[in-house]
Structure 1
Amino acid sequence: MAEKLIPKNADDVISIRNVTESGNVVTLSVPFLRFGSIPIGGRATIVRLTSGALAVFSPVDLTPKVEAKLAEMGDNVKYLIAPDIEHHIFLSKWAEAYPQAILIGPEGLPEKREKMTEDYIGHEPFGVVFKASTKAETTISEEFDRDFSYEFVDAHAAKEITFLYKPEKVLIEADLMFNLPAIEQYENVLPADKPKPGVLARFFMRVQSTEGEAKGMKRLIWHAISRGNRTGFNESIARINAWDFDTIVPCHGETIKGNGKEVFQKVFDWHINGKK
């Protein structure tokens, strides 16, 4: 899995970009093939809190270019966040480099990592674990909570935790919604090396697009992703929809700047207003 997320020439293909003019929100975008064939891309997000501490969401590989960017941002990595049970494979490498950092993730992830045998997966303790039974009372720290709102979408199969960086109105999520195709995440890949999606891959990319009416994504989320506990899913979406944001940083596909709230409300319309 790791070699698919970050290829051997990692620093040649990674795209590092400031999302906000302040430079406090930075994305690390990389190639990634879902099921080894669908180019959905991967993305980590670094946020510099108002305290100066750094929070890293969905960490990708810790390469020299990434280390240089962290140094530029103050190098005070205090929070390492796996926002669901899938986006965790580089946590150990980051935890080794920043032993002072608090690991944060959803219930089920520590147990999943305990069972994994890959040599790059460690058994580091999590400082904060989000649980469905106590999510309303869960806190992280005073400095973190001052800058962030968060919602544990425990009704999502991947156990999503979605974050709002309040100072700059940036919503950070993992698999809650995609925004394919993944253009930025493949922009530094040589044309000859770029994947050529087959029929099934192209279909997947269509239903994970926010273009037009986003009917494919709306149907996928309604009929599949939220089906197991739609009431709980709708409640989480309502809480996220109440936040003030204009930018969405997804793990897969393009960052949505300026009209993020409108796109979110379009994709989750049936969950917010009811399916007609």
Structure 2
Amino acid sequence: MYAVGSGEESTCRAALGTKIFQTLSVASLALSLWTEAIKLSRSQSSTTTDAMTSKLIPSNPSAVMVIRDITPNITTLSAPFARFGLFRIGGRGTIVRLTSGALSVFSPTALTPEVRAKLQEKGDNLKYIIAPDIEHHIFVSEWARAYPSAQVIGVEGLPEKRAAAAKDPSEVVPFATVFTEKLKGQVRISGEFDRDFEYEYVPEHMNKELVFLYKPDRTLIVADYLFNLPATEQYSRTGEPANKGIMTRLFGALMSTQGRAMGQKRYLWYAASAANRNGFGESAARIGGWDFDKIVPCHGDVVETGGKEVFRKLFGWHLEGLRK
């Protein structure tokens, strides 16, 4: 179910395999494999991307998704996801109930009957569908069709990316709010949303990340901004270990938050923020100034407590760089 297919997709596996012979250390090997996978995915045609997507996400999401209320207002939707069929990183959508009663979803997952039931339990007033970076948008159309009055929110480049991949113009979903580098810090979503959330756009990240803080529950919500592997909860209903496969174990060691977390710290410094470390660091400083304890990542387990300490550890070099 998670293996990469054949044809044009097979070039990805071949290119990734050559990295094994080009890299000496475990950390740089995993980093090279991951960044090469990202580059290759963005060079694929929309047809190939659609074919690969069918290989990466579970065909039976209801059977494997874990729906959990991590606070009275926040529900996580955790499911298996394997990037390129090689990296078992898991995937997670997050539903948040605002103090107004409106609902928002971040990085939407498959809209299963069980997810619909959870939304109805929370009032079914979905007003915001958020694709928090250039990658986490696979199920946006499904949610937008089910909730046509909801505002779709994303980052620059994503509307164009989705329009280019659409097989029919009717599939194109309009975006109500698009965050851009030019207007960084100036884009606002709505009064009711802004009362409950702080948010920071990080265009310096390779995936153009949006990071959110749900202030009432002191919870940080991220996409690819940071990882917390292994994806134990996300694979807990599959009957298979989250760390199955050598590539998953290598990348999991790199993207852990345990111990000194030097692998992920290096990844954030040398890869994720390489285009503009100063700008990336300025955003990290603003996010680090927020009041949060819990972190909900798309990939890996929820940081249930101590999130601020984890954040400072991972982004320490960026924060220290600003102080020098």
Q: TM-score range by the shorter chain?
A: over 0.9
Structure 1 segments of 4 or more deviating over 6 A? none
How far apart are 1:118 and its partner, in Å?
5.8
Partner-residue secondary structure (3-state), 2:184: helix
Partner-residue secondary structure (3-state), 2:182: helix
How far apart are 1:231 and its partner, in Å?
0.7
- In 1: Cα distance, 2:124 partner to 2:151 partner: 15
**1:172 alignment counterpart:** 221
Aligned length: 272
Structure 2 CA distance for partners of 1:153 and 1:109, relative to 1, 3 Å? same
Paired letter, 1:133: K
Where does structure 2 lack aligned partners over 5 or more consecutive residues? 1-51
Task: Flag the structure with larger Rg.
Answer: 2
How far apart are 1:38 and its partner, in Å?
1.1
Question: What aligned pairs does 1:35-184 form with structure 2 within 5 A after superposition?
Answer: 35-117=84-166, 122-184=171-233
The answer on whether the counterparts of 1:210 and 1:263 sit within 8 Å (CA) in structure 2 is yes
Partner-residue secondary structure (3-state), 1:217: helix
How far apart are 1:273 and its partner, in Å?
1.6
Partner-residue secondary structure (3-state), 2:148: coil
Structure 2 CA distance for partners of 1:5 and 1:73, relative to 1, 3 Å? farther
Aligned sequence identity (%): 58
- In 2: Cα distance, 1:8 partner to 1:224 partner: 32
The answer on whether the counterparts of 2:57 and 2:82 sit within 8 Å (CA) in structure 1 is no
How far apart are 1:190 and its partner, in Å?
2.0
Question: What aligned pairs does 1:256-271 form with structure 2 within 5 A after superposition?
Answer: 256-271=303-318
- In 1: Cα distance, 2:230 partner to 2:243 partner: 12
Pairwise CA RMSD: 1.8
Paired letter, 1:175: D
The answer on whether the counterparts of 1:43 and 1:60 sit within 8 Å (CA) in structure 2 is yes
How far apart are 1:274 and its partner, in Å?
2.8
TM-score by length of 2: 0.81
The answer on whether the counterparts of 1:38 and 1:197 sit within 8 Å (CA) in structure 2 is no
The answer on whether the counterparts of 1:113 and 1:122 sit within 8 Å (CA) in structure 2 is no
Paired letter, 2:86: S
How far apart are 1:28 and its partner, in Å?
0.1
- In 2: Cα distance, 1:185 partner to 1:259 partner: 21
Structure 2 CA distance for partners of 1:12 and 1:112, relative to 1, 3 Å? same
Paired letter, 1:261: K
TM-score by length of 1: 0.94
The answer on whether the counterparts of 2:211 and 2:220 sit within 8 Å (CA) in structure 1 is yes
- 2:266 equivalent to 1:228: no
